[in-house]
Amino acid sequence: MTITDEDLAVEAATAGAAVVRAGYGAPLERFAKEGNDFATAADLEAEQAILAVIRAARPDDAFVGEEFGSVGSSERTWLVDPLCGTLNFAARTPLVAVNVALRTPSGITAAAVADPFAGELYWVTGGGAGLRRDGAVLPLAPSAVSGLVDVDLPAADAARFVVPRLLTDRAFLARFDPRVISSTLALVWVASGRRAAYVFDGDVVDNVHFAAGIAVCRAAGCIVTDLHGGPVGDRPGLLVAADEATHATLLPLLAEALAVA
């Protein structure tokens, strides 16, 4: 039987998560990348495991991975971040995500995000988005009740500092409680109702870190825009909100931060 793209994304993310989980807590060699970034053996091995699963089922598809780059050329391209949160992982902090998404000419058509340590798998289904946990399949229900907003802090050499300015805004702090987990796991937390919103100031189009999480959030019914409230990709930045009210509250606060960025 031919596996569907949706199930293949789940199978690939699950394979990557197993590698990440197995390597947790082991002595780590750091492989230097650009700037202060680095990879570990778990990053490399998880990406290889994901590629093997995809290659076995879709040998003609292309593949873009965080660690090994592009493989092949096709209108169907798998975007993979095998371990989002490498610094957390290296510091023995189990807040990481395994991201797998399929990009076709019509957009992202399959996506899965695995949390290796919570044993959770978020994925896009034909009728929306779901969560697999402890053998059960649960619907995703975004909610702003927590008031928690996860943010991604910029590097020291960033061109602008929108998020730090947002974090010093008294109006923002009066309404929301900011958090930083340094992993796109926070994206699917918005989809599942654990976070009210997520804010990132950077490029996200065709980004292996974000493609799967954005797809899950959209399928779950979250509001997904750039920091100005426009379509993602028109300008840098990403705002994912659990509902329209939260999105509408955050936009003017972001506008103030952007005005002085």
The SS3 call for residue 144 is coil
- Identify the residue whose tokens are 């019509």: 106
Structure tokens at 34: 């650009």
* 8-state DSSP, 202: S
Evaluate the CA torsion angle 91, 212, 166, 194 in order and state its sign: negative
How far lies 226's CA from each of 31, 202, 231, 233, in Å? Answer: 33, 10, 6, 7
Determine how β-strand 177-179 pairs with β-strand 148-151.
parallel
Residue 81 annotated as part of some ligand binding site:
yes
Counting every residue written for the chain, the total comes to 261
CB atoms closer than 10 angstroms to residue 29? 8
CA distance 151 to 161: 12
Classify 156 in phi/psi space as left (phi over 0), alpha (psi -120 to 50) or beta: alpha
Q: Could you list the residues known to form a binding site for Mg(2+), using ranges.
A: 66, 81, 83
**What residues form the annotated binding site?**
66, 81, 83
